[in-house]
Structure 1
Amino acid sequence: MNSNWKNFLLSHLAVLTVSGQDAAQFLQGQITCNVHDVTATHSSLGAMCNPKGRAITTFLLAKSGDDFLLILPAELLETVKKRLSMYVLRAKVTLTDCSDSLCLLGFMAQSTDAFLASYQQDGAVRINVGNRDLVIADAHNASVMFAQGVETIDSMHWQTLDILGGIPWLTTATSEQFIPQMLNLDKLGGISLTKGCYTGQEIVARTHYLGKAKRALFVAECETATPEANASIIDTNGQIVGNVLSANDGKLLIVLQLGDTDTTQLQLKDYNQALLTLLTEEAS
């Protein structure tokens, strides 16, 4: 055991596997990131959009052998699977909900390289997230790995770290509300402008080439309330100027209108006008 390790069981996330002879070509036509940039050692953030360019879900895309693994919010997995199924047609592709066979673990430590490498040889997939590691493993390896950490923490703290890191996860309340640039995915490497067509690509490309998105992602803090996803944000005049993307432990990711918005007096509507303080000029 290593007393510096912190382990997280990431039950709020799930894995959808895309496999088959046409998996890469199929995914390339459905998501914002470039599938061909994803390897066994390199993952990517991305989004799957509807035809209007609104993100149905965001995800981390990883690869295991010839299979692609979409790590996405558990509450959106079934919706995403159904949407993707609509486009499979004659493609040699299989979509598999791996909720019962694969586990998602988070690790945060000064150094877990040697430890995690030993499990990667046994089929585990490792994704680096800043100073953290997200690991996908089968039930046996997950139980062994999880037992190594002295300090075990629930997924809520991991979600707070994602908020502070500007990682935009969607929920059923925020799905299909925002184009990817509003979620900062262009700055996070989750949008390829050279990969070719995909569902919603015309809107995403137009936003890039014709000017900046009208809204953007910010990290904020609220000392008196933890709002639900998609809660409205108002200015001093009571005008709605944004929405909450995610919130936990007083930290928030929020999508705000750009331009003349007075960011010094932001409040949560319906939460006793709880005040918000921006922690970043723009999440990045």
Structure 2
Amino acid sequence: DKLHSEKYTSQLLNYDISGAVDFDKGCYTGQEIVARTYYRGTPKKRMFLLKSEKSISPDSSVLQSFEGQEKKPAKIVSYCNTENGNLLLAILDAEAITRKAKFLLSDSVTVPLQVMSLPYLKL
């Protein structure tokens, strides 16, 4: 969609580990950067699924903190408020996930967000 077009790399959106990008065929814009990161390194950020007990608004962001350090608020890529729970996809520091950081919704700092698993991403 126009809101997110050209704002995120394939790795940030997990295309490289979900099977959305094929590294064995074809050419596409940005292929060199995507392949270099895939074969040589690990992205510092990834998209993660989180669950909130509170409703998410268009102005919400995700606050990340670990070991007493506040990190820059993370952007929410997409969200859905339902009767069964509120889910969001956000670009988070991979290090924050491995260090078991606290994640909070910017407009509801008293209720922690729960990191949910995705079928292609090991937590």
Query: Shorter-normalised TM-score: what interval?
Result: 0.7 to 0.9
Cα distance in 2 for residues equivalent to 1:279 and 1:224: 16
* Structure with the larger helix share: 1
User: Please, which runs of 5 or more residues in structure 1 have no aligned partner?
Assistant: 1-72, 77-171
- What amino acid is aligned across from residue 190 of structure 1 in structure 2? A
Higher relative contact order (CA 8 A, sep 6+): 2
- 1:252 is aligned to 2:88: yes
| Deviations, residues 79-115 of structure 1 (Å, cap 9, x unaligned) | xxxxxxxxxxxxxxxxxxxxxxxxxxxxxxxxxxxxx
Distance between the aligned counterparts of 1:266 and 1:260, measured in 2?
9
Which residue of structure 2 aligns with residue 272 of structure 1?
108
TM-score, normalised by the number of residues in structure 2 = 0.73
- Give unmatched runs, 5+ long, in structure 2: none
- TM-score between the two structures when normalised by the length of structure 1: 0.35
> How far off is 1:278 after superposition?
0.8
Task: In structure 2, give the amino acid aligned to 1:275.
Answer: P
> Distance between the aligned counterparts of 2:71 and 2:58, measured in 1?
19
Identity over the aligned pairs, expressed in percent? 29
Amino acid in structure 2 at the alignment position of 1:223: E
2:62, 2:79 → 1: CA distance?
13
The structure that has the greater radius of gyration is 1
Separation in 2, partners of 1:224, 1:204: 35
Q: How many residues align?
A: 111
- Cα RMSD (Å): 2.3
Q: Could you tell me how far apart the structure 1 residues matched to 2:42 and 2:73 are?
A: 17
Structure 1 pair 186/221, CA: closer, same or farther in 2 (3 Å)? same
TM-aligned CA deviation for residue 260 of structure 1: 4.4
AA matched with 2:51: E
- Checking the alignment, whether the CA contact within 8 Å between 2:105 and 2:113 is kept in structure 1 is yes
